[in-house]
Amino acid sequence: MQNDKNDTRKHNIEILDNLGYRHLGNTQVFKKNNSYILSPAVKKNTQGYYWFDVSKKNLERMNNKNFLMLARIVPDLFIFEK
């Protein structure tokens, strides 16, 4: 189960890497210059629903910053919010 969670967390992360965004530690936050993206990865659960959770700590990191939201959905879907 842990491997599955790690695979989901890293899913399509190379897209952000290729755009020049740097992953900030073990968070859902990516940074390029003064631009931030909050990017959780999402996978269908056993009942067939999609959900993700954004930690309070990650939201606090975004406080007073302009940021974008990009949900990376397994296998290859995305939700982008400006």
> Per residue in 26-76, pLDDT tens?
888 999 998 999 998 888 888 988 888 788 888 888 877 888 888 888 877
**pLDDT exceeds 50 at position 1:** no
**Would you state the pLDDT for residue 18?**
93
Sequence-ordered list of residues with C-beta below 8 angstroms from that of 26, at least 6 positions apart, any chain: none
**pLDDT exceeds 60 at position 23:** yes
What does pTM read for this prediction?
Answer: 0.75
Spatial CA neighbour of 75 closest among 49, 44, 48: 44
